[in-house]
Amino acid sequence: MTQTSPQQAANQTNATMNFAFTRLMTDGPRRATSLNELLAAKDVSRETWLFACPHDDDIVVGAGLWLMAAIDAGADVHLLVATDGRMGYCTHEQRDSIVSIRREECLKSYELLGLPREKVHMLGFPDCALSGFLGRRPAQSGEPEVAGFTGLQNAFVAKLRELCPHRLLMPSPADYHPDHQIVHNEMQISLFHAAGAIWPELGEPCDVPEVYELAVYCDFPSAPNLEVWANSEQFDSKLAAIEAYASQLQIEMLVEQIRNSGPYEYLREVNFRFYRPDLYRPLFRTS
Ligand SMILES: [Zn+2]
Number of domains in the chain: 1
Quote the pLDDT of residue 120: 97
CATH, residue 234: 3.40.50.10320
149 domain residue, yes or no: yes
* pTM: predicted TM-score of the whole model, two decimal places: 0.92
The CA 33 to ligand 1 mean position distance, Å, reads 30
Pairing of strands 264-270, 226-230: antiparallel
pLDDT at 70: 98
Residue 10 domain-assigned? Answer: no
pLDDT of the residue at 14: 45
Q: Is residue 220 part of a domain?
A: yes
Find the 175 Cα to ligand 1 centroid distance in Å. 9
Distance (Å) from CA 61 to ligand 1 centroid: 9
Amino acid 15: pLDDT: 55
If you measure from the C-alpha of residue 8 to the centroid of ligand 1, how many angstroms do you get, rounded to a whole number?
33
Residue 20 lies in a domain: no
| pLDDT in single tens digits along all 287 residues of the chain | 445 666 666 555 545 799 999 999 999 999 999 999 999 999 999 999 999 999 999 999 999 999 999 999 999 999 999 998 787 788 888 888 888 889 999 999 999 999 999 999 999 999 888 999 999 999 999 999 999 999 999 999 999 999 999 999 999 999 889 999 999 999 999 999 999 999 999 999 999 999 999 999 899 989 999 999 999 999 999 999 999 998 888 888 889 999 999 999 999 999 878 889 999 999 999 97
Residue 16 lies in a domain: no
How far does residue 62's CA lie from ligand 1's centre (Å)?
10
The whole domain housing 150 covers 46-272
Distance, CA 112 to ligand 1 centroid (Å)? 19
Asked if residue 116 is part of any domain, the answer here is yes
Report the Cα 225 to chain-centroid distance in Å. 16
212 CA to middle of ligand 1, Å?
17
Q: Which residues surround ligand 1, an ion (CB under 5 A)?
A: 55, 58
**Centroid of ligand 1 to alpha carbon of 179 (angstroms):** 7
CA of 58 to the centre of ligand 1 (A): 5
Whole-number Å distance, alpha carbon 82 to ligand 1 midpoint, is: 10
| pLDDT the model gives residue 11 | 57
Give distance in angstroms: CA of 15 to centre of ligand 1.
36
pLDDT of 181 reads: 95
Residue 4: predicted pLDDT? 62
- Let me know if residue 29 belongs to a domain: no
* CA–centroid distance, residue 119 to ligand 1 (Å): 19
**How far, in Å, from the CA of 134 to the mean position of ligand 1?**
17
